[in-house]
Amino acid sequence: MPYAEEIEVKGSRSQLLAFFMDPIRFTGILGHMMIVNIFDKNENKFVPMGNLKNPENKYKILYALGDPESKIDTFVGTMEGPTLMYNTITYKGDADNSKITWKIDIIITELSRVCRLRVVADIKQKQGLFDRPRMGDIDLATHLVKEHLIPFVKFYFKPSLLEEISALNEVFRFRGSVEETILKLREIIGNIKYGGIIIIGESLNIIASISNGEILHVQINNSDVQSGDIFTHLLKTSGNIELIAYDVSLDELIFKNLRRKLEEIKTRT
């Protein structure tokens, strides 16, 4: 049965996204998983990090479950993630023996001055896997949320220490065929109030700004074009396409610039 818990966190949505989009940090927080190899798309297999050429968000994982005071069971499996859909970051994984599968959703909702962070863990175990290993007196899903993710955020998430590069927040990422990408693109454009998209394909790079669900400014391979040309160029390309969508927090952007202006004024007086 899934276990969920939520807290309010001081910090921006973009800071929390950056914090949880790091898979090595994520597995470190969980404490019961270690990334040992990463999938390389060129080699079509898992390789050590030092041999990576074209990484994908798939990992070979060493799991360590049990009670450290009595018995620890270790086994090998995989993890995928992070995937980002609007305000939800998802990681999922399983064991190589297919007897355990899990998924953790991290849902970030920006409020007026804080963010609401909701963590949902869903772990399914087939009968006979280490007699359903538990962490003390609570099950694994509860343990990972209640005794790892939530307390780590409470004590170690320091937004003031995170580098604020821009006010762009990644809200969607997809990789697929041209036809699939066009369908996703039509869907995502209407859901962005202020922001933009990046599309990367074979010999094709597209950037476009969006306002109130409409494409404003488009560049294809560094040349300005009309908004409708996006679909024309996509239909002419082949292979897999990567689509990344962003929105802009106007409040965050305004305050960043106001703080910068304040510092400039103070240095002149």
Rounded Cα gap, residues 189 and 216, in angstroms: 11
Tokens of 102: 């899990």
Q: Which residues contact 132 (CB under 8 A, 6 or more apart)?
A: 125
Tokens of 136: 């003390």
The DSSP element (H or E) to which 180 belongs, if any, is helix 178-189
**Using one digit for the tens of pLDDT, what is the confidence trace for 168-197?**
778 888 888 899 999 989 888 888 888 899
Nearest 5°: the CA angle 92, 93, 98 is 140
Cβ-based neighbour number of residue 181 at 10 Å? 20
Residue type (1 letter), 261: K
**Using one digit for the tens of pLDDT, what is the confidence trace for 10-50?**
887 878 888 898 999 999 999 999 999 999 988 999 999 99
Rounded Cα gap, residues 220 and 144, in angstroms: 44
* Alpha-carbon torsion (195, 201, 204, 205), positive or negative: positive
Q: Which residues contact 32 (CB under 8 A, 6 or more apart)?
A: 63, 64, 65, 144
CB 103 within 8 A of CB 122: yes
Residue type (1 letter), 212: N
3-161: CATH number: 3.30.530.20
Query: What are the domain boundaries of the chain?
Result: 3-161, 168-263
pLDDT at 3: 93
Cβ-based neighbour number of residue 47 at 10 Å? 16
- Assign residue 6 a region (left: φ > 0; alpha: ψ between -120 and 50; beta: otherwise): beta
Q: What is the pLDDT along the chain (269 residues), one digit of tens a residue?
A: 799 999 999 887 878 888 898 999 999 999 999 999 999 988 999 999 999 888 888 999 999 887 777 678 888 999 999 988 878 999 999 998 877 899 999 999 988 778 999 999 999 877 554 445 544 455 889 999 999 999 999 998 877 544 444 567 788 888 888 999 999 898 888 888 888 999 998 888 999 999 888 888 899 998 888 888 898 889 888 888 999 998 887 777 777 778 777 877 877 76
CB 89 within 8 A of CB 105: yes
Tokens of 96: 């190589």
